[in-house]
Amino acid sequence: MKFAFAAVALLGLCGTAQAATATRGAFGQLADGSKVEAVTLTNSAGMSAKIMTLGATLQSLVVPDRSGKKEDVVLGYDTAQEYLSRPNYFGASVGRYANRIAKGKFSLDGKSFTLATNDGPNHLHGGPKGFDKRMWKIDSISSGPDAKAVLSYVSADGEEGYPGELKVTATYSLNDQNELKLEYRATTSKPTVLNLTNHSYFNLSGNDARDVMGNMVTLDAARFTPVDATLIPTGERRAVAGTPFDFRTPHRVGDRIRDAKDQQIRFGRGYDHNFIVDGAAGSLRHAARVEEPGSGRVLDVSVTAPGIQFYTGNFMDGTFFGKGQRAYRQGDAICLEPGVFPDSPNHKDFPTSRLNPGQTYVNTIVYKFGTH
């Protein structure tokens, strides 16, 4: 009796220590019959994140607003099959190379490689069947101060035209401080190039109540990389001072997004640009803040990557429907995609996207939520 009581008390103690939990369950199945699973990470502060095996995708992210109301703050679909059929990369883990590689060509050590051109003349987000459309494996889940899910994927040598067998993990963890941490790691069997990131579309109003034009955005970036008309960097690192790209102090997204005098705004149809994050790449540092005045939700993004792609959903045109059969339109979300710069394999003076055998690639992203 005494013993039983002690055991229960001990369990109780452990229960307090295990503040955040990870659970695993079915998410659905694809048209070809393959099963999709999901891990849900839940903390005691009202947040939960659902990650599905298809694309190691952040399928939903529930965050309390200033009055404690819990709502989903990321765009996506209700069913797994829709993620396959409609290429918007909602919440997906993107690879092997997030963003563009000019004309789908690069060379390494004198050898040329040709990739699919799936975005006009360029290669985008790893090609027609990138990591977002692959089934990842759940390696482990665990509860504790950080609830954690480790997913993995092995990309065969030559997959989508890239050299080397690439072993990739995506580790999502959630703590009680409302920090969702995401870490991508990879090793390769041959020299290769890569750029892994997460492509969440944030709408902090919750269930897309409003578009993001009124969101206040801060980007810790004194420079960005201007692009040509096909969104390939020209190689220049341009100061943001005096341009619509100066977000060093908070600005409403909508204030300068129609400034057609700026050629870069015209090329991007708004914001679709890589910002060079201030400070030393490799160290985790604050890169971006988004504040949604209506709900009071605030998102702070810290990164180890040299750059962050700020994209305002410019290519969403109301022709596809997301969760709850809601039409997604231009300006309905903000993407903040930390990584190396677009088209780095073709720019020797950009931070390198090369990975050699024996090295471990790491890209760490922390999304911290709060209210004001």
Contact 225, 341 (CB under 8 A): yes
CB of 128 to ligand BGC, least distance (A): 12
Q: With respect to ligand BGC, which residue has the nearer C-beta, 37 or 160?
A: 160
Q: Which of 160, 251, 337, 347 is catalytic?
A: 337
Q: With respect to ligand BGC, which residue has the nearer C-beta, 174 or 340?
A: 340
Give residue 74's identity as a one-letter amino acid code: V
CB of 366 to ligand BGC, least distance (A): 20
Site string for ligand BGC, 169-208 (x = CB under 6 A): ----------------------------------------
**DSSP annotation string for 255-309:** GSTT-TTSHHHHHHTS-EEEEE-SS-TTS-EEEEEEE-TTT-EEEEEEESSSEEE
Contact 42, 20 (CB under 8 A): yes
Q: With respect to ligand BGC, which residue has the nearer C-beta, 51 or 231?
A: 231
Contact 176, 34 (CB under 8 A): no
The span from the CA of 332 to the CA of 339, in Å, is 23
CA 142 from chain center: how many Å?
22
CB of 290 to ligand BGC, least distance (A): 16
Three-state secondary structure call for residue 27: strand
Running DSSP on this structure, what letter comes out for residue 156?
A: P
Site string for ligand BGC, 337-366 (x = CB under 6 A): x-----------------------------
- Residue 309 within binding range of ligand BGC, rule CB under 6 A: yes
CB of 335 to ligand BGC, least distance (A): 6
- Residue 272 within binding range of ligand BGC, rule CB under 6 A: yes
CB of 269 to ligand BGC, least distance (A): 9
- Residue 71 bears catalytic tag: no
CA 208 from chain center: how many Å?
18
Residue nearest to ligand BGC (CB): 315
- Residue 125 bears catalytic tag: no
Site string for ligand BGC, 100-139 (x = CB under 6 A): -------------------------x--------------
Contact 299, 286 (CB under 8 A): no
Residue 337: phi and psi, rounded to 5, are -110, 100
- Where does this chain touch ligand BGC (CB under 6 A) — which range of 44-52, 60-68, 222-230, 308-316? 308-316
The span from the CA of 106 to the CA of 156, in Å, is 19
Q: With respect to ligand BGC, which residue has the nearer C-beta, 65 or 245?
A: 245
Q: Which of 199, 251, 273, 347 is catalytic?
A: 199
Contact 52, 166 (CB under 8 A): no
- Where does this chain touch ligand BGC (CB under 6 A) — which range of 249-257, 309-317, 325-333, 350-358? 309-317
Indicate which single residue of 93, 99, 171, 225 sits in contact with ligand BGC (rule: CB under 6 A). 99
Residue 10: phi and psi, rounded to 5, are -65, -45
> Of residues 208-267, which lie at the interface with ligand BGC (CB under 6 A)?
231
Instruction: Compute the CA torsion angle 251, 253, 257, 258 (nearest 10 deg).
Output: -100
Q: What angle do CA 208, 333, 70 make, to 5 degrees?
A: 40
Contact 195, 186 (CB under 8 A): no
CB of 342 to ligand BGC, least distance (A): 7
Pairing of strands 238-239, 192-193: unpaired
Q: With respect to ligand BGC, which residue has the nearer C-beta, 128 or 144?
A: 128
Place of tokens 């690439």: 166
Residues lying near ligand BGC in the complex (CB under 6 A) are found at 89, 99, 125, 231, 272, 309, 311, 315, 337
Catalytic positions are 199, 337
